[in-house]
Structure 1
Amino acid sequence: MGEQSVPTRVEHGSAGEPIRVLVVDDHDLFRRGLDIVLAPEPDITVVGEAGDGAEALEAAQDLLPDIVLMDVRMPRRGGIEACTAIKEVAPSTQIIMLTMSEEEADLYDAIKAGATGYLLKEISHGEVASAIRAVADGQSQISPSMAVKLLTEFKSMSRRDDERRLVPAPRLTDREIEVLRLVATGRNNRDIAKQLFISENTVKNHVRNILEKLQLHSRMEAVVYAMREKILEIGD
Structure 2
Amino acid sequence: MNAVLDNFRTDRPDNCRAPRPALTKREVEVVNAWVVADSKSDVGKSLFISMGTVNTHVLRVREKYRLLGRDAPTKTALLLRFLQDGFVTLEQLLGETPSAASDLSGPT
Shorter chain as normaliser: what TM range? 0.5 to 0.7
Q: Kindly, what percent of the aligned residue pairs are identical? A: 27
Conservation of the 8 A alpha-carbon contact between 2:37 and 2:43: no
* Shift in CA distance, 186/176, structure 1 to aligned 2, threshold 3 Å: same
Give 1:191's aligned amino acid.
D
Conservation of the 8 A alpha-carbon contact between 1:176 and 1:207: yes
* Shift in CA distance, 223/232, structure 1 to aligned 2, threshold 3 Å: same
Choose the corresponding residue for 2:58, options 207, 213, 231.
207
Query: What does 1:137-152 align with in structure 2 at a 5 Å threshold?
Result: none
Q: Distance in 2 between matches of 1:234 and 1:179?
A: 17
Which runs of 4 or more aligned residues in structure 1 lie more than 6 Å from their structure 2 counterparts after TM superposition?
A: none
After TM superposition, give the deviation of residue 226 of structure 1 in Å: 1.1
Aligned length: 83
TM-score, length of structure 1 as denominator length: 0.32
1:220 and 2:70 matched: no
1:183-209 deviations in whole A, cap 9, x for unaligned? 221431011000110000111111110
* Partner residue in 1 for 2:20: 169
Conservation of the 8 A alpha-carbon contact between 1:207 and 1:219: no
SS at match of 1:158: coil
1:195 and 2:42 matched: no
After TM superposition, give the deviation of residue 174 of structure 1 in Å: 0.7
After TM superposition, give the deviation of residue 212 of structure 1 in Å: 0.3
Q: Distance in 1 between matches of 2:19 and 2:61?
A: 16
Q: Distance in 2 between matches of 1:234 and 1:188?
A: 20
Structure 1: unaligned runs, 5 residues or longer:
1-151
Give 2:78's aligned amino acid.
A
* Partner residue in 2 for 1:183: 34
SS at match of 1:205: helix
Give 2:82's aligned amino acid.
A
- Asked which structure has the greater RCO (Cα within 8 Å, sep 6+), the reply is 2
After TM superposition, give the deviation of residue 175 of structure 1 in Å: 0.8
Q: Distance in 1 between matches of 2:79 and 2:13?
A: 18
Q: Distance in 2 between matches of 1:207 and 1:175?
A: 11
Give 2:42's aligned amino acid.
D
Q: Distance in 2 between matches of 1:211 and 1:164?
A: 25
After TM superposition, give the deviation of residue 164 of structure 1 in Å: 4.7
The structure whose residues are more often helix, as a share, is 2
